[in-house]
Amino acid sequence: MAETQYDVIVLGSGPGGYVAAIRAAQLGLKVAIVERENLGGICLNWGCIPTKAMLRSAEIFHYMQHAKDYGLAAKEIEADLEAIVKRSRGVAKQLNQGVGHLMKKNKITVHMGEGRMTGPTSLTVTSDKGEEKLGAKHVILATGARARDLPFAPADGKRIWTYRHAMTPPEKPTKLLVIGSGAIGIEFASFYNDIGVEVTVVELLDRIVPVEDADVSAFLEKALTKQGITVMTGAGVEDLKVGAKGVTATIKDKAGKTSTSEFSHVISAIGIVPNTENIGIEKLVEMDRGFIRIDPYGRTKTKGLWAIGDCTPGPWLAHKASHEGVTAAEAIAKELGKDAHPHPLNRDAIPACTYCHPQVASVGMTEAQAKEAGHETKVGNFPFIGNGKAIALGEAEGFIKTVFDATTGELLGAHMVGAEVTELIQGYTIGKTLETTEEELMQTVFPHPTLSEMMHESVLDAYGRAVHF
């Protein structure tokens, strides 16, 4: 069977892969994409998007329960988990179809099936229709990652869940244990707590959302505890025993005391495993704990073979994957003689968002990281309670923190917790990308009344000039 030839083949159609394919096609290249399951990958089908749909339902339910706080009345309200899941799956389906439309619009050939490399730039695609042989001048690996199982209790989809099971639960939990307090764990803890489930979060490290600024972690823990979530930090789950009606968990707390507790279900959110096995790349790339090593443009050690997204070193975020996809596509196009100007990814300006209640968002260094890096710092902090729009929204809990280099005025990092902060963080991200200083941020006019005014006030506070608090 002869190989079908392309300029670029992308293996995987998640937010890194399909964006890379589109950008390569925009630059005049003949492009194919290989996908074994659903166009859009984990993010659109089983991650970022459907979870946000579920969290939105939980948010609306929360507001309905507090209708009297807004001068309204709502009676006999309830959370219908089956309907919530149905809506989220509908959102995922709509976006999956949207990616299919984008492939057609950009004249990208889609090959559905399991892809496996047979050489530096060739692969086979196996499906129920048989086997295809494909070849290209360049191949981009965008195979993503999957949930990491607990070594002593792998997910069964019935009592022990990964994020995927938690999005299409067979039943509503009555008492839920969430292991791990990164973004995935905390978002599901927040969702299930909001719809009335008793939730316990166990985190091995000494604080939740441990990659965030310590002040954010402390505030979020207090907020979640106030909402009724039990948070155990510095604790570990040592064993899970699954029974007919639930799971018995053996937990060692921060004092070293071991106890057992009963839960109806468990969500394991202890990290990810890259999808780099069994795709024929063992001799083609260098790996670190299974993740493919790349240069700033996405090149692997093998000429013509590139990698992006969650199969490469972190942070493991959809928007980072998309940006890497654009960079790799432009770098390939340049090598093929096209008018392209690739820019390497700036890892210091990648925002992170957690869509719990309250939300968390950040970009750049934490205060501790800035000091460890040798910076003399100026730190600003402005609370939601000092903002008129936040009070009007009934969302007066939270703060915005900024970290500057005291000598140069460089914005080193920004950290937020509170309502809609995931929509605010991009302002600081643009600032970091443009190498903004405190003076430029101070001289920027922020609209009133908006939550964004707190961004301005936090900057002012770092230099002793806050107006409204």
Active-site residue set: 448
| Rounded-to-integer distance, Cα 305 and Cα 169, Å | 39
3-state class (DSSP) for residue 113: coil
Strands 122-127 and 114-119: antiparallel
Written as six digits, the tokens of 153 are: 């209790």
Give the three-class secondary structure for 16: coil
Q: Please list the alpha-helical segments (H only) found in 204-317.
A: 214-226
Q: Are 15 and 95 in contact (CB under 8 A)?
A: no
Distance set, CA 171 to CA 48, 104, 192, 237, 261 (Å): 22, 38, 12, 23, 20
Identify whether the C-beta of residue 377 lies closer than 8 Å to the C-beta of residue 398: no
Tell me the backbone φ, ψ of residue 461, rounded to 5 degrees. Answer: -65, -35
Report the Cα 150 to chain-centroid distance in Å. 21
Q: Which of 434, 427, 435, 433 is nearest to 455 (CA)?
A: 427
Q: Say which residues have a Cβ less than 8 Å from residue 439's Cβ, sequence separation at least 6.
A: 409
Place of tokens 């707390």: 253
Please give the structure tokens belonging to residue 238: 């040592």
Beta-strand pair 399-405/411-418: antiparallel
Provide the CA 286 distance to its chain's centre, in angstroms.
Answer: 25
> CA distances (Å), 277 to each of 189, 233, 318, 324, 351, in order?
31, 33, 21, 21, 29
Instruction: Report the relative pairing of strands 160-161 and 265-268 from DSSP bridges.
Output: parallel
Kindly state the tokens that stand for 273. 């495993």
